[in-house]
């Protein structure tokens, strides 16, 4: 498999793009004409620079609005095409990409278009070059794969092939089964990209919303597998158009692009038996000192947790299978996070089914190995995630870890109102959102839902939910460009990718809520329950009971969902949920929760000013 990436997927200078793509392991790079302008040297120096970096040139992009013109416009197009072909040869590109004409006045007749492409193919052959013809969803007439193939197959030129553009194919609702009608050797190049949806304007979709495979919701992995099954051996190249991606450093973009390729290959390998490496949460580590630690301990006790084990300055707080490790050490990894963020979640312990396989996958996807390091006091290997976040990789519950023998029991007995960790929510800086999503999709092979826009009183929060195969591990990623949103306020004082809340599951949330003091519970606006009666046909007594206990409610096709939130400590808060067949995360209640938290935050800020 020849893996390539288009230079348009990066920001920065062409030299940086080439070096980043080579360092990430790409075999080739496609050159956009605009990137050549800023190159420090003559066009002939580009292939030398690329060769020295260890990467090949795949193509020059793109000759546009060439075929189907008449008169002076056709003659001008031929002269322009000749200059493009000469430039392709100078930059060492063996192929010139030709995009189907977007001008409405261009001919739509196959014979006319085929004749023009035949002439261009002859000109390319004279220079030892090939052509790749690509239908764009925004082209005037040839905007589908079927139409492009009809033109190409009518050109008797062995150096003319078809470019399959994934986003264009899905945007035009082409049945991928049509690919079986195309001889594999006539496919010259495959452009791979994903997108959140195709239900938007085609120009906007293809020019601004393309993502790396795995970051969107299109069936790119199935297309990739189908092409391999058909025997397509043409280079496959990632081509994204997305300002959010381009805001990242070239090295990060290249790493994410290569992760996308590995994810496609892994999905293809596991196609018949999709399988996430994650099994379940093991524990959540908090780091805190002095008063904040005492405040967290007070809230944990109020929730029914007990300090069941301790080892020096680290204590385990437990209830059911939910384990919180409170780390008050003044050295080590957790303390370094404390120095940056204050009281915070400093790490998540996750159970994986095969540590050796996970270690190999991390080396493939992440460029590092984790098997050698063992972080005290748990004795577990560490994986750094988005924004420097920490994962402790375990083969079982915390009792099975190497360091557990160092923890002494305290004799305290927890309550029995919380059974396990339900999900965790992470806040990401906006420019890390898509990269963070790629991390979870590729490293842990988690499934993702569509991006949701949650309305905060001061802006919009973009949210994406990921889960393993069983749903036992759920993670919510959140990012916002609004400076005043609760998410962005939390990020401003916490860091690049902090965990802002941890949710626990309860089999009886009403019994749990009755044990909580109002001071420790987020107060829900009273009118929420007025609105609830309009949204759902609920018993009035049930609504009054939820109102008295500050419990949120939602329902989906699977069943009902009850939520309760605690007060926040340094921006971090807990959630307790009861699921009665419900599979979501209560997104409908998030705006109300954010409003209530904003009121809590503003009250706290006002008290500090007194």
What crossing angle do the helices spanning 590-609 and 486-494 adopt, rounded to 10°?
A: 50
pLDDT tens-place string over residues 272-284: 555 667 899 999 9
**Count of other CB atoms within 10 angstroms of residue 405:** 10
Q: Quick one: pLDDT at residue 457?
A: 81
Q: Which pLDDT belongs to residue 45? A: 98
State how beta strands 306-311 and 278-287 pair: unpaired
pTM beyond 0.75, yes or no: yes
Can you spell out the DSSP letters for 125-188? HHTT-EEEEE--TT-SS--SHHHHHHHHTTS--TTEEEEEEHHHHHHTT--GGGGGGS-GGGEE
Find the farthest-apart pair of alpha carbons in the chain and give their distance in angstroms, rounded. 92
Which candidate, 487, 340, 384, 472, places its Cα nearest to that of 426? Answer: 487
Mean of the per-residue pLDDT values for the chain?
Answer: 92
The neighbour count for residue 529, using CB atoms within 10 Å, is 19
In order of start, what are the domains of the chain with their CATH numbers? 3-269 (3.20.20.150), 278-409 (3.10.180.10), 432-609 (3.10.180.10)
Reported as a single tens digit per residue, the pLDDT across 347-390 is: 999 999 887 777 776 766 665 556 555 678 999 988 888 888 99
Query: Phi then psi for 398, rounded to 5 degrees?
Result: -60, -25
Note the pLDDT tens digit of each residue in 209-263.
899 999 998 999 999 999 999 999 999 999 998 888 888 899 999 999 999 998 8
- pLDDT for 453: 79
Mean pLDDT of 80-88: 98
Q: What is the pLDDT of residues 109-151, one digit of tens each?
A: 999 999 999 999 999 999 999 999 999 999 999 999 999 999 9
């Amino acid at each position: 498999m020849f893996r390539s990436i288009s230079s348009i997927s990066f920001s920065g200078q062409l030299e940086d793009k080439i070096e980043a793509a080579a360092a990430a392991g790409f075999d080739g790079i496609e050159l956009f004409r605009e990137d050549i302008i800023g190159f420090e040297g003559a066009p002939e120096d580009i292939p030398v620079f690329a060769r020295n970096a260890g990467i090949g040139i795949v193509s020059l992009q793109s000759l546009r609005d060439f075929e189907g013109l008449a008169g002076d416009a056709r003659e001008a197009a031929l002269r322009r095409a000749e200059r493009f072909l000469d430039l392709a040869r100078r930059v060492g590109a063996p192929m010139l990409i030709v995009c189907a004409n977007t001008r409405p006045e261009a001919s739509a007749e196959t014979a006319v278009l085929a004749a023009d492409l035949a002439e261009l193919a002859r000109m390319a052959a004279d220079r030892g070059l090939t052509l790749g013809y690509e239908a764009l969803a925004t082209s005037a007439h040839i905007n589908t794969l079927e139409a492009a193939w009809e033109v190409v197959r009518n050109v008797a030129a062995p150096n003319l092939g078809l470019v399959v553009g994934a986003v264009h194919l899905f945007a035009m609702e082409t049945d991928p089964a049509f690919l079986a009608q195309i001889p594999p050797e006539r496919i010259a190049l495959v452009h791979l990209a994903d997108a959140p949806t195709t239900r938007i304007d085609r120009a906007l979709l293809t020019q601004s919303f393309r993502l790396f495979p795995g970051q969107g919701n299109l069936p790119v992995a199935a297309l990739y597998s189908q092409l391999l099954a058909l025997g397509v051996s043409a280079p496959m190249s990632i081509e994204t158009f997305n300002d959010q991606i381009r805001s990242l450093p070239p090295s990060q973009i290249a790493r994410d692009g290569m992760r996308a390729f590995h994810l496609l290959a892994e999905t293809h390998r596991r196609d018949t038996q999709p399988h996430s490496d994650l099994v379940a949460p093991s524990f959540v580590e908090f780091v805190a000192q002095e008063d904040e630690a005492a405040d967290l301990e007070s809230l944990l006790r109020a929730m029914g947790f007990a300090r069941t084990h301790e080892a020096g300055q680290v204590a385990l707080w437990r209830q059911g299978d939910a384990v919180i490790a409170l780390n008050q050490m003044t050295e080590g990894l957790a303390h370094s996070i404390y120095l940056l963020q204050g009281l915070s979640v400093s790490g998540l312990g996750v159970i994986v089914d095969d540590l050796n396989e996970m270690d190999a996958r991390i080396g493939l996807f992440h460029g590092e190995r984790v098997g050698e390091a063992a972080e005290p006091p748990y004795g577990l290997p560490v994986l750094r995630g988005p924004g420097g976040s920490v994962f402790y990789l375990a083969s079982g519950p915390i009792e099975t870890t190497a360091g557990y023998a160092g923890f002494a029991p305290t004799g305290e007995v927890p309550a029995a109102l919380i059974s396990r960790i339900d999900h965790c929510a992470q806040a990401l800086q906006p420019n890390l959102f898509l990269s963070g999503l790629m991390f979870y999709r590729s490293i842990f092979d988690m499934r993702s839902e569509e991006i949701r826009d949650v309305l905060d009183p001061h802006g919009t929060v973009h949210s994406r939910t990921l889960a393993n195969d069983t749903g036992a591990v759920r993670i919510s990623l959140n990012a916002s460009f609004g400076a005043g949103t609760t998410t962005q306020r939390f990020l401003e004082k916490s860091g690049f990718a902090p965990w802002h809340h941890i949710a626990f599951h309860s089999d009886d949330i009403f019994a749990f809520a009755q044990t909580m003091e109002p001071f420790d519970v987020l107060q829900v606006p009273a009118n929420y329950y007025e609105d609830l009666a309009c949204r759902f046909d609920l018993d009035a007594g049930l609504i009054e009971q939820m109102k008295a206990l500050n419990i949120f409610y939602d329902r989906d096709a699977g069943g009902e969902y009850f939520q309760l939130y605690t007060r926040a400590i340094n921006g971090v808060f807990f959630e307790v949920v009861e699921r009665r067949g419900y599979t979501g995360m209560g997104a409908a209640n998030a705006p109300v929760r954010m409003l209530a938290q904003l009121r809590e935050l503003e009250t706290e800020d006002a008290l500090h000013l007194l």
